[in-house]
Structures are given as structure tokens and as C-alpha cells.
Amino acid sequence: MSKSLAFPIACLMLVCGPAWANDLVGEWVLSIDTPRGVQNPTLVVEANGEGYSGVYNSMRGPIPIDSISFDGQSFAFPLVITVPIGEIEVNYRGSIDGDAMRGSVQNPRGEVAFTGSRQ
């Protein structure tokens, strides 16, 4: 790379950060403080064409996520969890800032906050 291009590219990287800084793709470890204690499921997100999909891994096993909406900072996805009394739908909503995420999980009993970090 010529010296004439190296400086502008380095400045752009410092100002804008790496291209992946606010990308949802990756493996995230979540921390959710539930009435039954802190849970640490993982969320693995992949780009699929023009959207996102993933897998939610918890003590109940993996649950595929067909579609995750993402606008560059905020994300949302529904998740159907099988529990002893049947199936319940929860809705995750949150935002990312580099390698950190935070948001809330809406469930039939209310809303619970969560945080996450990219692995």
C-alpha cells in the first residue's frame, strides 16, 4: 500500500472503527436474572442473505431462530420455549454497542432485562 493511501485509511479506521463493530453476527453469552436465578444462554447469530437467523442455546437445548430483525444497532426476535406446562413465546429486544448487548425479554409474566457479550 502506498504511503498516500495508508494515512487516510488508518484515520478512517480510527474514526469509524472496524466494520464489524456493530454487526450482530457472532456468538453472544447472555446474562438474564430470572426468578429462578441468573441464566447464561448463548445466542449464535448468522447472516443469511439479507437477514439474520440463529440458534438460542440454553439448559433446555438448542432452539433455532428463523428470523432476527436488525437495523444496525437494535435487534428483535421471537422465541418459542417448551416448558413442563407447554410452550410459551418470549420476545427479545435489544441493542448492541460493539461487543456488548443489552435489552429485555418480554414473557407472559412480564419483562426481564438481559445483557450479553460477544465471545
* 91 neighbors 78 (Cβ within 8 angstroms): yes
Domains of the chain with CATH codes = 20-118 (2.40.128.120)
Average model confidence (pLDDT) across the chain: 85
Q: Could you tell me the pTM of the whole model?
A: 0.79
Please provide residue 34's backbone torsions phi and psi, each rounded to the nearest 5 degrees: -105, 170
**Is residue 17 pLDDT above 90, yes or no?**
no
Predicted confidence (pLDDT) per residue in 88-117, tens digit: 999 999 999 999 999 999 999 899 999 999
* Sequence-ordered list of residues with C-beta below 8 angstroms from that of 83, at least 6 positions apart, any chain: 60
**Is residue 9 pLDDT above 70, yes or no?**
no
Q: What is the largest CA-CA distance in the chain?
A: 66
* CA dist., res. 69 & res. 58, Å (int): 21
Confidence of residue 1 (pLDDT cuts 50, 70, 90): low
Which CA distances in Å does 100 have to 50, 63, 86? Answer: 23, 22, 32
